[in-house]
Amino acid sequence: GAMGGSASLIPRDLLGEYQELTFLSKQEILLAYKRFSELLPKEERENACSARVPKSQILTLPELRANPFQHRICHVFSTSETKDDSMSFEDFLDMLSVFSDSATSDIKSHYAFRIFDFDDDGTLDRKDLEQLVNCLTGQGEESRLSSAEMEQLIQNILEESDIDKDGTINLSEFQHVVSRSPDFASSFKIVL
């Protein structure tokens, strides 16, 4: 059928491997492949398995366009040597896998933590939390919090989450908080 063309570009053994390594079904992987190759210039589509899509293209996906953490998501899932946040097909699959309904909440919270850790230092400190809140409330003048409101909110977050009281939230503290909020996993997803 008409679909045969694009599907046959993923070698069968790779397709099996992608199913093993992700939370995605065969259908989802093929759909992801189609979406990924559509982000490439026509002449590169033949070799989509080995091509990289620039971040600017990844951000055109409607699912990411509306996501306040779009830049961090590209950053965390990109394996680019040059740190340009471009994505290979495997990076793209990893991202979709973590955001899929089938991913465990442990996996989701692990990646959420990395996405919220703006300075990549392995903990969420006040600065990370401030950026997190700014992403969530939007940068518009009318939606921005006053510094007093921001201070109060960060206090509240730390009181709730910072179990060892060192002023930062580490991964296990974050996962503890997430385990108590049942709607977390459902808010952390991208459906293609």
Domain with 74 in it: 12-99
**Contact criterion met (CB below 8 Å) for 61 and 35:** yes
From the CA atom positions of the chain, what is the Rg in Å? 19
Cα separation values, 77 from 93, 138, 161, 185, Å: 9, 23, 26, 18
* Domain end point (choices 79, 99, 119): 99
Q: Is the pLDDT assigned to residue 109 strictly greater than 50?
A: yes
Beta bridge partners of residue 96, listed in sequence order: none
pLDDT digits (tens, 9 = 90+) for 77-100: 999 999 999 999 999 999 999 999
Residues 6+ apart with CB under 8 A from 141: none
Q: Pick from 165, 166, 130: which is nearest to 151 by CA?
A: 130
pLDDT digits (tens, 9 = 90+) for 136-164: 887 677 778 899 999 999 999 999 999 99
* Domain end point (choices 99, 119, 147): 99
pLDDT for 192: 59
Model pTM score: 0.88
